[in-house]
Amino acid sequence: MMVTIKIEMKANTMTNVFDIATYILSKQGPMPAMKLHKLVYYCQAWSLVWDEEPLFNEPIKAWANGPVVPELYEVHKGKFKVEAADFPGNTKALNETQKETVEAVLAYYGEKKSQWLSDLTHMEKPWRRARIGLPDNERGDREISHATLAEYYESLGPEYANHG
């Protein structure tokens, strides 16, 4: 009974993709939308490895230009550069563990250019696996699952195993 109550409370307090995007932008400042999507993707992947839970429930899709969260895209579509004020996120929704995870991801990936991050995602198994059989220029609607993310990023080795 206590476990059920704890799980329900946890589910109700989960951050969403807008909270994560707003937190990233509050730390990094305005950036190209493509870069934001890649940073959100890596935050989700490493949270699954380091914290053994997702940061948000919105699906990540394997679009032609790399991983994209469609709900995030719908809010900013048409804009090249985005900033925290563009999204209905709440940075206070993140707990300390989530902030540490996002900040560790930003410490590693945050200064990289959008195209570098996109190229990296194109070389990695989660995106490539989800794109099997799709033409290069087709957007596609295939999800990159939490299991696929956790399995791949966990396999990268001890130099990636811990953050902080």
Query: What's the average model confidence in pLDDT over 7-14?
Result: 47
At 59, is the pLDDT very low, low, confident or very high (cuts 50, 70, 90)? very high
Model confidence at 37, pLDDT cuts 50, 70, 90, reads very high
| Residue spans of beta strands (DSSP E) within 69-116 | 81-82
Are 21 and 55 within 8 A, CB to CB? no
Query: Where is 67: in which H helix or E strand?
Result: strand 66-68
The model's pTM: 0.88
| 159, pLDDT greater than 50 | yes
Tell which residue, 79, 78, 80, 93, has the closest CA to residue 21. 93
Q: Rounded distance, CA 106 to CA 43, Å?
A: 8
Q: What is the mean pLDDT of residues 104-114?
A: 96
Please give the structure tokens belonging to residue 39: 């940073």
Phi, psi at 63, each rounded to 5°: -80, 170
> What local confidence, expressed as pLDDT, does residue 12 receive?
42
Average pLDDT, the chain: 90
Please give the pLDDT value at position 9.
37
Q: Give the pair of three-digit tokens for residue 130.
A: 């989800």
HSE on the CB side for 32, CA within 13 Å?
A: 11
